[in-house]
């Protein structure tokens, strides 16, 4: 199905990899070919344009929010370079929508023959891999640069500028050629996660193996599920794996990181939710994924009838797990100390339904590729607090990037 979709200039494939988490109604959702679209870049009016687009079309809308939309929400700027160049905001109404569950495939189309499309999808051959090269991965930070930067951020924390900051580093490759379909297939095999995504916008690609949900709206209920807290898994050693799970659950630093972000998310949701409805449904649950155990909390609230997608996004974007606390100040520090724009990384991809429901991921554990520029990028980060050990934070970044590096070197 995905190889069939890859023939189109625009497609969005969302895969829960059979995790069956609450709120996942289909195994896969595939939207291809734009019947109409809205795109915004540094225009200062992206959110209003999105609401107008959703209201005018009253249909399924798929797309993304880039991290740098923060500049429209707060009085901020992004001074670093962006080498991938996804728009800040892009949404489209698909000409073809396919909803796949274990026992059924539902197809919605605009002015097309459904049976013809179903036959084409089922009979489409899996293409041979396009010959590429093994990317030569570089980093924007040397190990020493990274350690010094973490110490600088800890100085900001000790002065009271902030409490916690998510600091990321970019890994990149120049003059490279990959087959995005094949790389995504490998990435999803090595690291299947519940918010995986293959997203194509002309010559720009997102190959995403995210474990994290940003926000889901179902009728009047909003939920957000921030991840803070990571430890390595040992799939070949059950005893060691259980021990690491317990170590993560009891680690004072990881617990404090998670609680701080939960408080931030509660505050964000309170901006848009009805008074007295925001609550923590689960605090610091431990969940296993292919490479790591993660500490995940669930925060929920209820919104009034008629609330628009942009009203929700303006209240809670960017997500607290990828910024820190207090949010505005740490976003200023992120721009100062990181060396490239985040762009779509730590942004969000998802859908808005005709009923106004929505589900969006957090773009992490992802490869970004600009085919025209032959530029490949992936980022990894960790939460810096006063008690952070710079070497441990550096190693956490490498752990999070391990699956991507493995795939790119296959």
User: What count of Cα atoms within 13 Å lies in the side-chain half-sphere of residue 23?
Assistant: 22
Share of the chain above pLDDT 90, in %: 82
Beta bridge partners of 233: none
pLDDT of residue 34: 96
Q: What average pLDDT does range 305-325 have in this prediction? A: 95
For residue 105, what pLDDT is reported? 84
How many CA atoms lie within 13 Å of 61's alpha carbon, on the beta-carbon side?
Answer: 27
Per-residue pLDDT at 71 exceeds 90: yes
Q: Which of 42-46, 279-283, 397-401 has the lowest mean pLDDT?
A: 42-46
Q: What does each C-alpha distance from 392 to 231, 246, 396 come to in angstroms?
A: 11, 18, 6
Q: What share of the chain is helix, strand, coil (3-state, %, to 5)?
A: 30, 30, 35
Using one digit for the tens of pLDDT, what is the confidence trace for 136-187?
A: 999 999 999 999 999 999 999 999 999 999 999 999 999 999 999 999 999 9
Q: How many CB atoms neighbour CB 140 within 10 A?
A: 17
Report d(CA 101, CA 394) in Å as an integer: 39
What is the spatial distance between Cα 335 and Cα 333, in angstroms, rounded to a whole number? Answer: 5
- pLDDT classification of 23: cutoffs 50, 70, 90: low
CB of 383 closer than 8 Å to CB of 165 = yes
| pLDDT tens track for 46-67 | 999 999 999 999 999 999 999 9
Q: State the DSSP string of 295-325.
A: EEEEEEEE--TT--HHHHHHHHPSPGGGSEE
CB atoms within 10 A of CB 259: 15
Kindly report the backbone phi and psi dihedral angles of residue 51, in degrees, each rounded to the nearest multiple of 5, phi listed first: -60, -40
Q: Give tens-digit pLDDT for 81-118.
A: 999 999 999 999 999 999 988 778 888 988 778 888 88
Instruction: Indicate the fold that domain 2-408 takes in CATH.
Output: Anthranilate synthase (3.60.120)
Q: According to the model, what pLDDT value does residue 43 have? A: 67
Spans of all domains in the chain: 2-408
Q: What is the pLDDT averaged over residues 189-196?
A: 93
Report pLDDT digits (tens) over 317-376.
999 999 999 999 999 999 999 999 999 999 999 999 999 999 999 999 999 999 999 999
| Tens of pLDDT, residues 365-406 | 999 999 999 999 999 999 999 999 999 999 999 988 888 998
């Amino acid at each position: 199905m995905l190889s069939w979709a890859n023939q189109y200039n625009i497609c969005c494939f969302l895969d829960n990899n059979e995790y069956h988490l609450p709120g996942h109604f289909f195994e896969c959702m595939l939207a291809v070919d734009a019947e109409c679209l809205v795109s915004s870049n540094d225009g200062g009016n992206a959110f209003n344009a999105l609401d107008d687009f959703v209201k005018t079309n009253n249909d399924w809308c798929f797309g993304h929010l880039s991290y740098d939309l923060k500049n429209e929400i707060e009085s901020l700027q992004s001074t670093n370079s962006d080498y991938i160049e996804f728009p800040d905001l892009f949404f489209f109404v698909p000409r073809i929508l396919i909803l796949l569950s274990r026992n059924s495939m539902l197809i919605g189309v605009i002015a097309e023959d459904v049976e013809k499309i179903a036959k084409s999808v089922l009979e489409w051959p899996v293409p041979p891999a396009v010959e590429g090269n093994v990317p030569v991965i570089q980093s924007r930070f040397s190990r020493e640069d990274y350690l010094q930067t973490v110490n600088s951020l800890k100085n900001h924390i000790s002065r009271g500028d902030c409490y916690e900051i998510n600091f990321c580093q970019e890994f990149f490759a120049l003059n490279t050629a990959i087959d995005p379909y094949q790389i995504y297939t490998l990435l999803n095999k090595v690291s299947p996660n519940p918010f995986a995504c293959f997203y194509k916008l002309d010559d720009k690609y997102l190959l995403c193996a995210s474990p994290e949900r940003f926000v889901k709206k179902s009728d009047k209920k909003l939920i957000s599920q921030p991840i803070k807290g990571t430890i390595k898994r040992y799939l070949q050693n059950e005893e060691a794996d259980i021990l690491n799970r317990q170590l993560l659950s009891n680690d004072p630093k990881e617990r404090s990181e998670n609680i701080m972000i939960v408080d931030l998310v509660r505050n964000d949701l309170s901006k848009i939710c009805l008074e007295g409805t925001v609550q923590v449904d689960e605090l610091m649950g431990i969940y296993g994924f292919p490479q790591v155990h993660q500490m995940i909390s669930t925060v929920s609230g209820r919104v009034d009838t008629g609330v628009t997608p942009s009203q929700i996004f303006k209240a809670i974007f960017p997500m607290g797990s990828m910024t820190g606390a207090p949010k505005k100040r740490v976003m200023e520090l992120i721009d100062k100390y990181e060396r490239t724009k985040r762009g779509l990384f730590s942004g969000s991809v998802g859908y808005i339904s005709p009923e106004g429901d929505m589900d969006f991921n957090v773009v992490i554990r992802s490869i970004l590729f600009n085919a025209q520029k032959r530029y490949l990028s992936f980022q990894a980060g960790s939460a810096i607090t006063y008690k952070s050990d710079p070497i441990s934070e550096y190693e956490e970044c490498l752990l999070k990037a391990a699956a991507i590096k493995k795939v790119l070197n296959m």
